[in-house]
C-alpha cells in the first residue's frame, strides 16, 4: 500500500478575495506560511519518503516547509501547475459573468471549459495523467506528499479513484488542506478529504 498525502498550498498575497489565479506566480502570504507550519506540525509523526510539487512558488514554498528537517528532496513538476486561466486570470466570478457569460455558465454547471487565451480542461487533465505516470515508481509502503493546486488535485482524486472527470468540481479542496489516498495494486481508497482541522 502506498499512501498519498495531497496538499493544497497555503493562502497567498493575492487571495484575500476569491479570484481565479492560475499561472500567476504568487508567493505565500504571512498567513499562508502560518497555515502550512500548522500542517507541518500535524504531519510531524507521518513519514514522508518522497515529495512532488508544482513549480509555482506558492506550492514549492509549501512543500519546502512541510519537508523541512526531513531527508526528502522536493521534485518540482510542471504537470502539477494550476490551470492557465488565460483571459480570466485574476477575475472574480461576477466579473467573468459580465465579460464572459458563456464561460461563467459552463463554470457554474461544472462542464468542460476552454479558457480563452489559456488552457482547456482537457489540457489540464492531460498534464495530471502525465504526472500519474510518475507515481508508478512508488514503492508499496512509501508515503508521498503531493503539493499542488485546487484544479490538479481534484483531477488527481478523480483518476486515482476511478471517477469520471466530469465530477472534478464536486470536490472541495481548500487552501492548506490535507487529503489522503491509500493506493493498492487494483484499487485506491480516499481516507481523508479536504481536512483543515489543523488550522483551528
Which domains, and CATH codes, for the chain?
2-199 (3.40.50.1240)
- Contact call for residues 32 and 175 (beta carbons, < 8 A): yes
Strand ranges in 22-130 using DSSP code E only, listed in sequence order: 50-54, 74-77
User: Is the pLDDT score of 141 beyond 70?
Assistant: yes
Read off the pLDDT of residues 81-135 as tens digits, 9 standing for 90 and up: 999 999 999 998 899 999 999 888 887 776 677 899 999 989 999 999 999 999 9
Residue 189 banded pLDDT, cuts 50, 70, 90? very high
Closest CA to 153 of 77, 95, 57: 77
What's the whole-model pTM score? Answer: 0.94
Supply 182's cell numbers.
491509500
Read off the pLDDT of residues 34-83 as tens digits, 9 standing for 90 and up: 999 999 999 999 999 999 999 999 999 999 999 999 999 999 999 999 99
Residue 16 banded pLDDT, cuts 50, 70, 90? low
Alpha helix segments (H runs only) across 100-169: 101-109, 121-134, 150-161
- Contact call for residues 90 and 19 (beta carbons, < 8 A): yes
- Contact call for residues 55 and 84 (beta carbons, < 8 A): no
Q: Is 142 exposed, middle or buried (0-12, 13-18, 19+ CB in 10 A)?
A: middle
Amino acid at each position: 500500500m502506498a499512501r498519498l498525502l495531497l496538499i493544497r498550498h497555503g493562502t497567498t498575497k493575492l487571495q484575500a478575495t476569491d479570484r481565479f489565479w492560475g499561472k500567476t506566480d504568487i508567493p505565500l502570504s504571512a498567513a499562508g506560511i502560518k497555515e502550512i507550519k500548522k500542517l507541518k506540525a500535524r504531519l510531524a509523526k507521518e513519514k514522508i519518503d518522497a515529495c512532488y510539487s508544482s513549480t509555482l512558488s506558492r506550492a514549492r514554498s509549501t512543500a519546502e516547509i512541510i519537508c523541512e528537517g526531513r531527508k526528502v528532496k522536493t521534485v518540482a513538476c510542471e504537470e502539477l501547475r494550476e490551470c492557465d486561466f488565460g483571459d480570466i486570470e485574476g477575475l472574480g466570478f461576477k466579473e467573468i459573468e459580465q465579460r464572459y457569460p458563456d464561460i461563467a455558465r459552463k463554470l457554474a454547471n461544472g462542464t468542460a471549459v476552454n479558457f480563452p487565451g489559456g488552457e482547456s480542461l482537457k489540457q489540464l487533465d492531460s498534464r495530471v495523467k502525465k504526472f500519474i505516470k510518475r507515481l508508478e515508481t512508488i514503492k508499496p509502503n512509501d508515503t508521498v506528499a503531493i503539493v499542488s493546486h485546487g484544479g490538479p488535485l481534484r483531477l488527481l482524486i478523480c483518476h486515482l479513484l476511478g471517477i469520471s472527470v466530469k465530477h472534478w468540481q464536486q470536490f472541495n479542496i481548500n487552501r492548506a488542506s490535507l487529503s489522503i489516498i491509500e493506493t493498492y495494486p487494483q484499487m485506491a481508497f480516499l481516507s481523508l478529504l479536504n481536512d483543515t482541522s489543523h488550522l483551528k
